[in-house]
Amino acid sequence: MNRFQQEVEAAVDALLLQQVILYPTDTVWGLGCDAEAPRAVQKLYRLKDRPEGQPSIVLVADLAMLHRYAAEVPNELERLLAEQTRPTTYLLPASRVVAPCLVAPDGTVGLRVVKDEFCFKVVRRLGHGLVSTSANKSGEPAPTVYSEIAPVILRGADHVVSWRQDDETRVAPSRVVRLGENGSLEVVRM
């Protein structure tokens, strides 16, 4: 087994134990856990000092998995996913499978189909959505590279992924799109 696959397996093992992982995403460094494990999500929120009512997004591997977490999916979303050129989070009505603290007060959940190979492999192997929130205390800047992660976050994560720790590539946070009342999609954040 190569190093990449070892990193994927170690991350999945931690997630299956309902642990919080620190890992590289397709945007910034993130904290994550199994989206179907409410206790793990609460642990992650305590680590971030994240107030209730500020949900995190869920990374999914494909459209089928997105359907598991969304109660309603616009017909044109498959086409949009195929055409998108940057990471995009879609705010959609949450299904009952989503841990309650991941659901916004308006009943939506943020879902992003990942293109990043590491995240994709972890989510696919886990078989569940992966919570993704920036690896920082609430209100502090999001770490775009590993060296920007605060020591308190490094110590607080149950498992720290070694993959891409030396990567200095900086990527903007994902674009956010909301499902409108008439089924249209509205850009919330570019």
Q: Is the pTM of this model over 0.85?
A: yes
Q: CA-to-CA distance for 147 and 20, rounded, in angstroms? A: 19
% of the chain beyond a pLDDT of 90: 75
Tokens of 183: 């089924």
Per-residue confidence (pLDDT) for residue 63, from 0 to 100: 94
How confident is the model at residue 184, as a pLDDT? 73
How does the average pLDDT of the chain come out, rounded?
93
Q: How confident is the model at residue 189 (pLDDT cuts 50, 70, 90)?
A: confident
Domains of the chain with CATH codes: 3-189 (3.90.870.10)
C-alpha of 78 from chain center: 19
Cα 132 to the center of its chain, rounded Å: 2
- Please tell me the predicted confidence (pLDDT) of residue 3: 95
Strand ranges (DSSP E) for the chain? 21-24, 29-32, 57-60, 88-93, 108-113, 130-134, 159-160, 175-179, 185-189
The gap from C-alpha 138 to its chain's centroid, in whole angstroms, comes to 16
Per-residue pLDDT band at 80 (split at 50, 70, 90): confident
CA–CA dist 85, 30 (Å, integer): 21
Q: How confident is the model at residue 183 (pLDDT cuts 50, 70, 90)?
A: low
- Average confidence (pLDDT) over 117-142: 96
Handedness of CA 109, 140, 166, 175 (dihedral sign): positive
Centre a 10 Å sphere on the Cβ of residue 162 and count the other Cβ atoms it contains: 14
Name the token pair of 188.
């919330």
